[in-house]
A and B are shown apart, each in its own frame.
Chain A
């Protein structure tokens, strides 16, 4: 007891010696509290604006409980239907794969326009940046709606939708990778008499290619997820079947489709992350 008392006495002494360090920063604390209070007020105000009501939440939750019960066990109506779903999953993968590939092929040359160290012309650099931002701000699902108006319903519209929205993302990511590249190889090529194009081809491209490849693979993973829902607006893939089964309240079918999506996404994630590490590991 006496020992701990001595420790506490020591504590006071320590406190007295380092008052500067231990003094609470009142301004910082007040700012933090104010930010938290603001967030809380916005949170409550937001719910009030959206006409949130506890009875509705309560009823919804009990509904959700009975839906969850109805989902068990996952099942399908006929072999044909199951086969159709598997085919739709294949379609989903095709949409993600081709969409990502086409976007990468188109965005690669364009990204050089948006890279400050390649494109000295500031206006072009600025314009291409803003165009990428604009394309990116529109969700793939909206692009899918636009493309279904052009090429009709079906997976082709999905491919074009994923492609369009990813041109925006890739353009931004690739140009950032190019800007982050080491300038010395470029200067080296120029110093030995290489042209501007040769400097980019032999000084820049070998540096950015592995980075770009791993980003493309990463986006392929993420696009597999986007492609599962793109069918909701009629642009092919499993999403069409999923939304159909939800709208007709076939909950056992819904749970099976969700399960199939989860397994597919997990497999793709596994394969693609293996491949990604292989690429980075081999070159890095």
Chain B
């Protein structure tokens, strides 16, 4: 089967080629402007951020040294030679640190549950399709925005002044921040539900609360749980630094050993922390997947 291709003559191609060239030119110009803006912003930011490349190059070895020193005990032996045992071993405080990591997990858990409760109660008011009144939509949305924009560690700093040192301000700080974060995600889920059950219940005379309970909640619950588990992972990381400002958990011990240059303690605590975080991540991922596959079957 022979097929012939007619090649257009040059003068017929000309306008097309010109159009292509002009599109290419304008695209190149856009890229060029973008790169120029980026370069300008980089220089400006470098100046504001006191970037000192000379200092950086002269000290970059120090970073390597620092990381290297993490793996040597105070008596100069490598950590691996004396992992667990006497007073000077690498994991001398193993059970104490484990308890502190437990405390960190509890702070993260309690904060997550508080945030779940807050976000759950508020999200229906912050969803445009379900809210009982427009002013409630506005008020809850602004409140949730406030809760999630102020970093939890700032809440923790203020709460430590109000509630005193200890894990309770950490729990409350994480709880408030989580309320904001989950409330927003939840309300977005709630805005995407099928409205037919809601209308059905409202048409049979159900009150607003009944409508939410029997029409909205069953549609959103598994998504809510999945988001909450994801948030728990994030909160474990945040709870680990709450101790930096005196709000409980392993952070207190970590910042002390960093500040006092107890290198092997730093590496031991960080190692325990990283392992904990990875285990938590893997466990919640499993639960989330099983939730999703459950959803798929139903």
Complex: how many Å from CA A152 to CA B56? 10
Question: For residue B103, which residues in chain A have a CB less than 8 angstroms away from its CB?
Answer: 49-50
State whether A43 touches B161 (Cβ < 8 A).
Answer: no
Segment among A16-24, A176-184, A190-198, A229-237 that sits at the interface with chain B: A229-237
Chain A interface, DSSP helix/strand/loop, else mixed = helix
Is B206 close to A, CB under 8 A? no
Chain B interface, DSSP helix/strand/loop, else mixed = helix
State whether B45 touches A97 (Cβ < 8 A).
Answer: yes
Is B127 close to A, CB under 8 A? no
State whether A50 touches B171 (Cβ < 8 A).
Answer: yes
Known: A98-B46, A158-B49, A262-B149. A150 touches B255 (CB 8 A): no
State whether A134 touches B149 (Cβ < 8 A).
Answer: no
State whether B241 touches A141 (Cβ < 8 A).
Answer: yes
Contact of B159 among A43, A60, A150 (CB under 8 A): A60
Complex: how many Å from CA A151 to CA B54? 11
Instruction: Please encode chain A, from 39 to 52, with 1 for each CB lying within 8 Å of some chain B CB and 0 for all others.
Output: 10011001101111
Question: For residue A52, which residues in chain B have a CB less than 8 angstroms away from its CB?
Answer: 168
Chain B: CB-nearest residue to A258 = B150
State whether B270 touches A138 (Cβ < 8 A).
Answer: yes
State whether B162 touches A67 (Cβ < 8 A).
Answer: yes
State whether A229 touches B151 (Cβ < 8 A).
Answer: yes
Complex: how many Å from CA A236 to CA B248? 24
State whether B107 touches A50 (Cβ < 8 A).
Answer: yes
Is A146 close to B, CB under 8 A? yes
Instruction: Please encode chain A, from 55 to 98, with 1 for each CB lying within 8 Å of some chain B CB and 0 for all others.
Output: 01101110110010000000000000000000000110111011
Question: For residue B60, which residues in chain A have a CB less than 8 angstroms away from its CB?
Answer: 150
Is A117 close to B, CB under 8 A? no
- Chain B count of residues within 8 A CB distance of the other chain: 60
Segment among A106-114, A118-126, A200-208, A241-249 that sits at the interface with chain B: A241-249
Question: For residue B281, which residues in chain A have a CB less than 8 angstroms away from its CB?
Answer: 133
Known: A49-B103, A94-B48, A262-B150. A156 touches B55 (CB 8 A): yes
B33 to chain A, nearest CB (A): 13
Is B238 close to A, CB under 8 A? yes
State whether B157 touches A246 (Cβ < 8 A).
Answer: yes
Question: For residue A115, which residues in chain B have a CB less than 8 angstroms away from its CB?
Answer: none
Is B230 close to A, CB under 8 A? no
Is B29 close to A, CB under 8 A? no
Instruction: Please encode chain B, from 259 to 298, with 1 for each CB lying within 8 Å of some chain A CB and 0 for all others.
Output: 1000000000010011001100100000000000000000
State whether A265 touches B149 (Cβ < 8 A).
Answer: yes
Question: For residue B255, which residues in chain A have a CB less than 8 angstroms away from its CB?
Answer: 145, 233
State whether A47 touches B240 (Cβ < 8 A).
Answer: no
Is A186 close to B, CB under 8 A? no
Q: Give the B-binding residues of A (Cβ under 8 A).
A: 39, 42-43, 46-47, 49-52, 56-57, 59-61, 63-64, 67, 90-91, 93-95, 97-98, 101, 133-134, 137-139, 141-142, 145-147, 149-152, 154-156, 158-159, 225-226, 228-229, 232-233, 236, 242-243, 246, 249, 254, 258, 261-262, 265-266
Other than the given A90-B48, A149-B258, A233-B255, 5 more pairs (CB < 8 A) read A52-B168, A93-B45, A94-B47, A139-B241, A147-B63
Q: Which 4 pairs, one residue from A and one from B, show the smallest C-beta to C-beta distance?
A: A60-B163, A94-B49, A94-B45, A94-B48
